């Protein structure tokens, strides 16, 4: 084991469950990046035998080491819920914050709020910025409802104007995506919300260029990272965004109902907290003022911290490279099936782990139901509309063989 990995394990707080130690030695024995290595990774997940789980874009399983850590602390909490025993959770919350700040490309620890999911992070921004009637908000038609319906509700309340950028399916270039966003911006635009990678058709937006556009027009740029937190090697400082939200239970493979909101520190004075209760103080430091919710589910915070440890032990460049391998293999095989129309760009630079396609002449919902009922393939579907199709979203617990098998099943059904 190399020195950095040794020091990584030393830095894990407290005694490690046996599954961590077992994983540590098995991963150390495998050569990183090989199929053997990924087989060891796959074995850390308690997915049912025979289930081909291709729905990371919705919810990911947590690995056994993360689950064991979660369980251990749930028991600890319930065995002794005293203030004295719970004091240690403050330290975990702060060490989670520090680990997330590092994970997101070395941002300031005071810029991190620990939320409950991407939706909450987005809504803290929606409800926290002062705006006046007539101000414009630029969105894209493929943002999630947490970034679109939330702004439409606020727009009704405060007489704001929403401008929606249409989304090409699939886009031909970064420029086409950038142009569609730029066309919505006017002198009245105050906020821009873009999804790093869309859940609808798997488009990757050119974030740095959009960040430059936002800076040029002095906009608050919120980046929805639900489909990239835990999938891409995120470097927030490079993107030019003002806020970013992600969920622990998607690609990050952490506990349900945990998430992160990053807010650039220069913007903190402009953002009101959405929830204020016990624990509030006017001098709360940085983004901590956005996470005052009253009693938290403390063991979940430890599980989130374990999920950061798990994913950072594998390393985001390796995770991202594996996702590229898996999704490219899947797309290349699917596109060769007669009748399959890809809605996701084939080019990795314009896409990510979300693979969306439609099968000509077939009812999408019938295919979706048959895939799970007859073949034990778990996936998502959009039953109608411009994004209609089946969505596969593989992750590091999937194998190359599963990509081949899923494509073979589609070939048999097309």
Ligand X SMILES: Cc1ncc(COP(=O)(O)O)c(C=O)c1O
Chain positions contacting ligand X, by CB under 6 A: 58, 117-119, 144, 146, 195, 199, 224, 226-227, 247
For residue 395, what are the CA distances in angstroms to 209, 232, 399?
A: 27, 11, 9
Least Å distance, CB 146 to ligand X, is 5
Taking the complex as a whole, the smallest distance from the CB of residue 39 to ligand X amounts, in Å, to 28
Could you give the C-alpha distances from 254 to 116, 304, 384, in angstroms and in order? 12, 5, 31
Smallest gap, in angstroms, from Cβ of residue 218 to ligand X? 25
199 vs 333 by CB, closer to ligand X: 199
Q: How far is the CB of 283 from ligand X (least distance, A)?
A: 30
Q: What is the token pair recorded at 142?
A: 């493929």
What span, in angstroms and rounded, lies between the C-alpha atoms of 302 and 62?
13
Task: Give the nearer residue to ligand X in terms of CB position, either 76 or 320.
Answer: 320
Q: Which is nearer to ligand X, 122 or 219 (CB)?
A: 122
| Distances 149 to 154, 157, 241 between C-alpha atoms, Å | 9, 12, 21
Pairing of strands 161-165, 189-195: unpaired
Torsion sign (Cα): 345, 351, 353, 354: negative
Select 243 or 247, whichever has its Cβ closest to ligand X.
247
Nearer to ligand X, 58 or 324 (CB): 58
When the beta carbons of 24 and 200 are compared against ligand X, the nearer one is 200
- Minimum distance from CB of 352 to ligand X (Å)? 11
Minimum CB–partner distance for residue 119 and ligand X (Å): 3
Radius of gyration of the chain (CA): 22
Q: C-alpha angle 386/359/404, rounded to 5°?
A: 120
């Amino acid at each position: 084991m190399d020195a950095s990995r040794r020091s990584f394990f030393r830095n894990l707080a407290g005694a490690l469950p046996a599954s961590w130690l077992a994983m540590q030695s098995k991963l150390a024995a495998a050569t990183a990046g090989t199929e053997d290595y990924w087989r060891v990774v796959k074995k850390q997940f308690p997915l049912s035998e025979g289930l081909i789980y291709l729905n990371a874009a919705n919810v990911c399983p947590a690995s056994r080491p993360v689950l064991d850590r979660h369980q251990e602390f749930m028991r600890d909490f319930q065995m002794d819920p005293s203030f004295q025993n719970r004091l240690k959770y403050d330290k975990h919350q702060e060490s989670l914050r520090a680990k997330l700040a590092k994970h997101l490309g070395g941002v300031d620890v005071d810029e991190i709020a620990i939320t409950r999911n991407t939706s909450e992070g987005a809504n803290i921004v929606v409800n926290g910025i002062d705006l006046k009637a007539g101000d414009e908000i630029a969105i894209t038609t493929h943002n999630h409802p947490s970034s679109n319906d939330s702004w439409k509700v606020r727009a009704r309340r405060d007489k704001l104007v929403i401008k929606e950028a249409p989304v090409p399916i699939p886009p031909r270039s970064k420029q086409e995506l950038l142009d569609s966003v730029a066309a919505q911006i006017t002198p009245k635009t105050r906020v821009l919300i873009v999804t790093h990678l869309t859940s609808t058709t798997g488009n990757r937006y050119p974030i740095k260029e959009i960040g430059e556009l936002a800076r040029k027009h002095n906009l608050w740029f919120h980046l929805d990272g639900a489909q990239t937190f835990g999938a891409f090697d995120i470097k927030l400082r490079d993107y030019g965004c003002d806020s970013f939200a992600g969920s622990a239970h998607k690609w990050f493979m952490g506990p349900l109902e945990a998430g992160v909101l990053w807010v650039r520190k220069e913007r903190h004075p402009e953002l009101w907290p959405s929830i204020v209760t016990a624990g509030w103080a006017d001098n709360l430091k940085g983004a901590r003022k956005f996470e005052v919710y009253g009693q938290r589910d403390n063991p979940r915070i430890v599980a989130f911290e374990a999920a950061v440890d798990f994913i950072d032990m594998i390393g985001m460049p390796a995770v991202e490279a594996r996702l590229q391998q898996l999704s490219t293999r899947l797309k290349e095989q699917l596109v060769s099936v007669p009748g399959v129309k890809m809605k996701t760009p084939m080019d990795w630079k314009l896409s990510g782990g979300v693979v969306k396609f439609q099968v000509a002449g077939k009812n999408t919902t019938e295919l979706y139901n048959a895939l799970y009922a007859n073949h034990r393939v778990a996936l998502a579907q959009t039953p109608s509309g411009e994004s209609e199709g089946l969505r596969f979203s593989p992750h590091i617990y999937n194998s190359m063989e599963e990509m081949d098998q899923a494509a073979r099943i589609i070939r048999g059904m097309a």
